[in-house]
Structure 1
Amino acid sequence: MSKPNPSKKRKAANSSSKNKLRFVLMFFALLLLICAVGLKLSLFKTYPMQGKEQKLSINYGETYSSYIDQLAVDKKVPFPIILKLYQRFFIHDSMKAGIYSVKQGMSIRQVLDMIANAENAQMNRVLVIEGTTAKQLIAALKKDPLVSKVVTQQSHAQLLKQLNIPYDHVEGLFAPDTYFFDKGTSDQQILSDLYQRQMKILDAAWEKRDANLPYENKYQALIMASIIEKETSVDRELRQVSGVFVRRLKLGMRLQTDPTVIYGMGEQYKGKITREDLRTTTAYNTYRINGLPPTPIALPSKKAIEAAMHPDQSDAIYFVATGNGGHKFTSNLQDHNRAVQDYLAVIRAKKKE
């Protein structure tokens, strides 16, 4: 019987160890190759564009994650995870809103680095959303690093005086839209431009308004436009909502619109209106006061201003949400109550789901 040869066992073990080491080395070499290819195709890839220069617009509040995801959706990068890892470990700041100039030949890495610094922006994009408030607009300008601060640090009364605006309240006076200003433009210039634009829109609409509207002046029409703006986001309903409120004013009915109540509550509003809120008298509670509130309650769009000047000619004096988008318009209380019950049924069904 032959005895085991220790030398052969050692050789076999060494051979096995060498094979394992070779496998590990090959694995890491392949991994490095994949990473290198991934880096070249993603991080160091030339930013896809047409022409020698392209403007890149970054919105306020936009994140690197969403921006990189969009690059992947647009098939501009094959490995978005590499870009996200680079941003996480090498870019220690958030994206800065503005308009950036991407030059031909820049890599995606260079673009990612560029948009982390507001100093690199060529222009500033100022987005004013219809239905938001003047207070929100002023707060956004105050936070914007590309806006020079002149008037937004002042009280609203001082701001109006500085802008030579002949009204006592800032609400509703600035036109919603997307604007582009040079980097460093003052808040005074921006607000002045937005005010002048809103007044041109209002003046033009007032000149072409329907006859027999229940407004004493164009400012009251602006107040109505702001209420219409807050009541519906469906364009085809703007004139219908306007018609309901115009007919209510003519009939001496109270407007009874929740957005005015919410505006009057100010910071006390926590996302829900109670019966007590509806019973509490404020200058804006249209369940308790007659006619229009004293000022607009939001920044109305051109479409809402046009609707205030041209209400529909139906006989509806009530409307309520359907629960599925849009509203149900009715001409009598019985039909309105039925529409309310239909809405509540839809809400209950959705809660069960």
Structure 2
Amino acid sequence: MLKVILSVLLLALITTAIGYQQIQSTINSPLQVANSTQFEVKHGTGFNQLCRQWQANKWVEDCWRYQVIAKLDPTLTDLKAGLYELNNDSVIENIKKINQGQQVNFIFTIIEGQSLRDVLTVIKSASNLQNDLKVDKLSEQLLGNNSNLEGWLFPDTYHYHNNDTASSVLKRAVQKMQLTLNSAWEQRATDLPYKTAYEALIMASIIEKETGLASERPLIASAFVNRLNTNMRLQTDPTVIYGLGEGFDGDIKRKDLRDYTPYNTYRINGLPPTPIAMPSKAAILAAVNPPQTQYVYFVSKGDGSHQFSTTLKQHNAAVNTYILNKKN
């Protein structure tokens, strides 16, 4: 009788050892895919269905072993829909990636100084993104009102997943701009020539378009603020170009400076009616806290930087040095 009991125990130990080895082998078994293979898990996909799909692709030999593992660890059956990048790590590690929702990340970047038209053109061709934007109701869709959307998209890189919507990405850009602008406005300097945060946003967009050298944003802001505080017109080419829209051929002409548009700051007093681009945080901060200077003029040196002047005589001399002499 003792021999029978010992035989049964020995057989049980051998069976357990074999089973353990089988489990370990299953756990460590690699997924037979080329490295970095994208695979979409659709909504409602179950564990067995996933395994059969992988088996059909010849990524796993069979499914019953993984079904046993899933019985021992039910968390493996919690699959999150999305697009995943599979590799030749173990099958179990790849399944855990799906359990944890580690989807493939895509990026969309809004560049400082881009116009709304530019942003919309680029986002329409963004990969793996659903274009749900309603062109005729864009402001209502993203801002929740009928205000002009220009200037309200914060320049940054935004991450998204497969089949996310374009509106969800741009709403995040709007929210970030609103938070950035509100925070800056609360810390604004006194005696600014604008009464609302929106006017500061308009100014920031002009600063952004006028700046070739990032470090000069504060000086550009100071010159513009000084102009407005002394009832001078802004007389800045980027606003004129924006007002021309698609009619701008790349070369601003004297006629363009004379013709009236709401954005021609050679013809209008004060700020244009809306921003002309998407300003950076640095441009916003410059607009609400410009340094105190006497500058009211500046001219491009041709290398991205500017020569700043306090008098018209100094400005004319700078124009002669950096513009007229170069043309000659």
* 1:235-275 Cα shifts (integer Å, max 9, x gaps): 21101000011011110000000000000000110001110
Structure 1 residues 184 and 253 mapped into 2: Cα distance closer, same or farther (>3 Å)?
Answer: same
One-letter code of the match for 2:236? T
Determine which of 186, 196, 200 is the counterpart of 1:221: 200
**Are positions 1:312 and 2:295 aligned together?**
no
Tell me the secondary structure at the aligned position of residue 299 of structure 1. Answer: coil
Q: Write the distance in 2 (CA, Å) between the matches of 1:332 and 1:102.
A: 65
1:150, distance to aligned residue in structure 2 (A): 1.3
CA contact (8 A) 2:131 2:166 kept: yes
One-letter code of the match for 1:275? R
Matches within 5 A, 1:122-137: 122-137=104-119
1:347, distance to aligned residue in structure 2 (A): 3.0
- Tell me the equivalent position of 2:161: 182
Q: Write the distance in 1 (CA, Å) between the matches of 2:88 and 2:310.
A: 62
**Are positions 1:301 and 2:280 aligned together?**
yes
**Are positions 1:154 and 2:130 aligned together?**
no
Q: Write the distance in 1 (CA, Å) between the matches of 2:121 and 2:203.
A: 24
Determine which of 197, 209, 219 is the counterpart of 1:230: 209
Matches within 5 A, 1:10-89: none
CA contact (8 A) 1:172 1:296 kept: yes
CA contact (8 A) 1:321 1:327 kept: yes
CA contact (8 A) 1:100 1:123 kept: no
What's the TM-score, normalizing by structure 1? 0.63
Determine which of 329, 332, 344 is the counterpart of 2:311: 332
Determine which of 126, 140, 144 is the counterpart of 1:144: 126
- Tell me the equivalent position of 2:252: 273
Structure 1 residues 223 and 103 mapped into 2: Cα distance closer, same or farther (>3 Å)?
Answer: same
Q: Write the distance in 1 (CA, Å) between the matches of 2:248 and 2:301.
A: 24
1:145, distance to aligned residue in structure 2 (A): 3.4
**Structure 1, gaps ≥5 residues long:** 1-46, 54-98, 106-120
One-letter code of the match for 1:129? I
- Tell me the equivalent position of 1:249: 228
- Tell me the equivalent position of 1:28: none
CA contact (8 A) 1:323 1:347 kept: no
* 1:255-314 Cα shifts (integer Å, max 9, x gaps): 000000000000110001110100000000000000000000000011100000111111
Q: Write the distance in 2 (CA, Å) between the matches of 1:226 and 1:122.
A: 34
| Percent of matched pairs sharing the same residue | 42
**Runs of at least 4 residues off by over 6 Å:** none
What count of residue pairs does the alignment treat as equivalent? Answer: 238
Q: Write the distance in 1 (CA, Å) between the matches of 2:140 and 2:131.
A: 16
Name the Cα RMSD after superposition.
Answer: 2.4
One-letter code of the match for 1:147? L
CA contact (8 A) 2:143 2:149 kept: no
Structure 1 residues 326 and 346 mapped into 2: Cα distance closer, same or farther (>3 Å)?
Answer: farther
